[in-house]
């Protein structure tokens, strides 16, 4: 699979875990989510994107830019997807 899809699945997994742990420990899910998402942030991709930009290597810059934005977007979509599903399920459960 692609790196973007792998990060999407990892973000979904971390988000599900954080929602479950939030219910178990009665804390906000953000506490667990931040710790789980932090290692997935594409810091190296951001660094190399800027390095290629400064060097003037436009083909590599664009390649790294698309890859880095894809990974960051996949993480955001994965977390948002799980959060939305949990909110919908909770609203339906309590009739709000």
Q: Decide: residue 23, CB within 10 A, 0-12 exposed, 13-18 middle, 19+ buried.
A: exposed
Q: How far is CA 51 from the centre of its chain?
A: 24
Q: State if pTM tops 0.85.
A: yes
pLDDT, greater one: 1 or 13: 13
> 3-class DSSP state for residue 2?
coil
Q: What's the pLDDT tens digit per position in 16-51? A: 999 999 999 999 999 999 999 999 999 999 999 999
Residues 6+ apart with CB under 8 A from 20: none
DSSP 8-state secondary structure symbol assigned to residue 41: S
**Which among 1, 13, 3 has a CA at the least distance from the CA of 72?**
3
Residue 59: is its pLDDT beyond 80? yes
- 69-96 pLDDT tens trace: 999 999 999 999 999 999 999 888 877 5
- The C-alpha atoms of residue 82 and residue 79 are separated, in whole angstroms, by 5
């Amino acid at each position: 699979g692609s790196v973007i899809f792998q990060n999407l699945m990892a973000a979904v997994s971390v988000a599900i875990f954080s929602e479950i742990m939030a219910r178990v420990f009665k804390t906000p899910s953000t506490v667990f989510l931040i710790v789980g998402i932090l290692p997935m942030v594409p810091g190296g991709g951001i660094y190399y994107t800027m390095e290629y930009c400064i060097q003037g290597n436009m083909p590599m810059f664009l390649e790294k830019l698309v890859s880095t934005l894809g990974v960051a977007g996949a993480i955001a979509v994965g977390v948002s997807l799980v959060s939305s599903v949990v909110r919908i399920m909770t609203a339906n459960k309590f009739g709000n």
